[in-house]
Amino acid sequence: MTIRVAIADDHALFRQGLTSMFGLHPDVAIVAELARAAELAPALEQTPCDVLLLDLQLDRNVLPDIEGLAQRAAIVIVTASELASDALAAMRAGARGFVFKRYALETLMDAMRTVVAGGVWMPPDIETELSGTVEEPRAASLTKREREIVRYVALGMRNAEIAKHLGIGDVTVKTHLNNVFQKLGLRDRVQLTLYAVRSGLVGASERRR
């Protein structure tokens, strides 16, 4: 499978460097290079891609754009920021990965393959910091259907996809999720994904970490 990738960064040398290095990987095709926030949505509409490598700061902060962009591609944030708060904000907005610019290309490749497979990727220290807000596993309190839904959320599915997969209504999925959040004391899908990994509802091989 060839991963179609768009690179959005306001530094031309960074974009060109990534493009050059990806040229050594036959399973990666660079389909767009972008430098401005206004270019993002039109580019994804005109040029389908599997992964958008996105810096949080182009000519402006792009955090407000992530939710809409995530409908068209799996978003991996590639940034110099190592703040857990930035990672949490990006993941809550719809990003599937968060990679530091100081990392090696192979780590970025791992993140890309993970999100294309439907998983979530973030640096281990960031995951550990965010996991600190998640209560100890209490999976036994969940029903079988709730466990299924938690697992699909952790694999990157949205409510409509889960409903279709399970043959139930969107409202039913939302009701189950509300029950899950209440039972586990969690606030959002990012925390739920971390919980699913820690409690074993999603295995490491499934997330391709």
Domain boundaries, the chain: 3-125, 139-207
User: Across the chain, what does the average pLDDT equal?
Assistant: 86
CATH assignment, 3-125: 3.40.50.2300
Residue 176 predicted with pLDDT over 90: yes
Q: Which residues in 92-121 are b (16+ Cβ under 10 Å) and which e?
A: bbbbbbbbbeeeeeeebbbbbbbbbebbbb
- Those residues whose C-beta lies under 8 Å from the C-beta of residue 31, and which sit 6 or more positions away, are 4, 5, 6, 47, 48, 49
Instruction: Compare 132 and 54 and report the one with higher pLDDT.
Output: 54
The distance in angstroms from the start CA to the end CA of the chain is: 19
**Considering the entire predicted model, what is its pTM?**
0.73
- Binned at pLDDT 50, 70 and 90, residue 85 comes out as confident
Sort strands 97-100 and 74-79 into parallel, antiparallel or unpaired: parallel
Q: Mention the CATH class of domain 139-207.
A: mainly alpha
Please give the residue that has the higher pLDDT: either 179 or 204. 179
Residue 187 has pLDDT above 60, yes or no: yes
pLDDT band, residue 170 (cuts 50/70/90): very high
